[in-house]
Structure 1
Amino acid sequence: MNNIYTNMWKSFSSGLESGNYDIDLNIGDINDSRRGLSILGYIDENNDEVGDNISSFIDRVMSIEPEQYGYPVTELHLTVLSIITCFSGFSLSDINPQDYNKIFYDVFNGLPPIEVNFKGITASSSCIIIQGFTSCHSLEVLRERLRVRFSESNLMTSIDSRYKAETAHCTAIRFCLPLRDRYKLLRLCERYREHDFGVVTFRNFELVFNNWYQNKSITKSLGKIVLNNSS
């Protein structure tokens, strides 16, 4: 996992130095009809202190780059798995949500909470993310169980169609306009490269119908579960 983050950082930092970064033109577009199905855990619902710590970093970024998209604290999340990757025109009427809910509950029922240490930042060419690390293989095992159960079903899925979920990151900033001062932004990111935002013990998970950016104004919760320490 650390190697993935390190390689991303090297690409991001060299890209900012040369002005090679990407802008997402779909943020805020009311005509963006991309929708999907995901399983996630909201950070503030599991540890509001860590949510506030990440928000403080976002505020620092936004003070340099106020025109970019910074995730509000209520939308900061860990994506366990994208069951249906967002695509244009997908709607809930295309599926039976109860079928997906059954697998969601069956796989999560009886599992212990999952701890993620959010430490340091890295980035892709179009977004800045908070690095997440697990102390054991619990998240990896959970994802594999979900992959197996959904692959055995006849349900519509597109798991791992973009990339295989391997990290425990949280997206914090998306670039939606040209950067004002990419060098100042890079220096700020360097200062947070190893910053410890804290540990989140994820107990609350949701199956959601979502847009590309997981905006809560569009997201619909299809199922919720709370994991117990005694499991």
Structure 2
Amino acid sequence: MWQQFTDAVSSNSYQCDPYLNGQPDTRRGITALAYLADNSPDVAARIGQFLDHLSQHEPQQYYYPNDELHVTLLSVISCLQGFQLSDIDPQAYVDVFHRALRGLDPIQLELRGVTASPSCIVIQGYPVGNELDILRQRLRDSLQASGLQTSIDARYKLITAHLTAMRFRQPLQNPQQLQVLCAEYRHYPFGSVILNQCDLVFNNWYQTLAETHHLARYCLGGQPSYSRADY
């Protein structure tokens, strides 16, 4: 990814997202994720400081708010144009979500370094142990066995543990400077996190909380869990 980013910067071929500039966006999906601020607010704050640094130089871009930073555990239904919550039975997905995660241990990640693509800046995550792989496979197997509508791994098989932190919305004021700033954080240790609060949500492409319907939360490691009845 980093090489694609540097090539895009040097050729001025980076990609600005038209939906972040007011173009109507009806893309919606179902996602299992973990919010960083709910699990490790100190690490979320350090990432926020990095984003504040970037925003001083590129204020017109889209920066994820602290409470929207997240690790995608599995994209259950990838965002589709016009998809609505009424198109499915949410409780059926909640039931599968709870069954699949039952008995699993919390997930440990090391968030270390920055990478980028031609369209976004990403925080790199490195799983410690195999708990994330186990959770993802348990969800895949349970959802596929349920017969419910999914599009798991339709775009690509999710194996990383990254966080998208900034997206390009407007032409960059100084692409080369942005590359230098990101290079300074290329191997920066943001910190270790333990993910034990996992959520199932109905979401838009950007996981904007104002557009999100929380369906369920499962607390790994035997803590109390709940499902939401407001859908």
- What TM-score do the two structures reach when normalised by structure 2? 0.94
Q: Displacement of 1:102 after TM fit?
A: 0.8
* Residue number in structure 1 paired with 2:31: 38
Which residue identity does 1:165 align to in structure 2? L
Whether 2:24 is the aligned partner of 1:19: answer no
Partner of 2:215: 222
Identify unmatched segments of 5+ residues in structure 1. 1-7
Amino acid at match of 1:91: Q
Maintained 8 Å contact 2:113/2:189: yes
How many Å apart are 1:30 and its aligned residue? 6.6
Percent of aligned positions that are identical? 44
Partner of 1:82: 75
Computed over aligned residues only, the root mean square deviation of the Cα atoms, in angstroms, reads 1.3
Q: List gaps (5 residues or longer) in structure 2.
A: 224-231
- Distance (Å, rounded) in 2 between the aligned partners of 1:23 and 1:120: 23
**CA separation of 1:11/1:141 partners in 2, compared to 1, >3 Å: closer, same or farther?**
same
Secondary structure at the aligned position of 1:134 is classed as strand
1:115-194 residue pairs with structure 2 within 5 A? 115-194=108-187
Aligned length: 223
TM-aligned CA deviation for residue 85 of structure 1: 0.4
1:3 alignment partner in structure 2: none
Going from structure 1 to structure 2, the CA distance change for 1:194 and 1:146 (only over 3 Å counts) comes to same
Whole-angstrom distance in 2 between the partners of 1:183 and 1:67: 16
Q: 1:162, CA displacement in angstroms?
A: 1.3
Instruction: Tell me the CA shift for residue 29 of structure 1.
Output: 3.0
2: CA distance, partners of 1:120 / 1:14:
19
Secondary structure at the aligned position of 2:128 is classed as: coil
Contact 2:123 2:163 in 1 (8 A): yes
Which residue does 1:111 correspond to in 2? 104
In structure 2, what is the equivalent of residue 5 of structure 1?
Answer: none
Alpha-carbon separation, structure 2, partners of 1:99 and 1:115:
28
AA aligned opposite 2:62 = Y
Q: Judge conservation of contact 1:39–1:82 (CA < 8 Å) in 2.
A: yes
Where has structure 1 moved over 6 Å in runs of 4 or more?
none
- Range 22-31 or range 68-77, more displaced: 22-31
Tell me if the contact between 2:197 and 2:218 (Cα under 8 Å) persists in the aligned partners: yes
2:200 is aligned, of 207, 211, 222, to 207
State the 1:109 CA deviation: 1.3
Correspondence 1:52 to 2:34: no
- Cα distance, 1:221 vs structure 2: 0.3
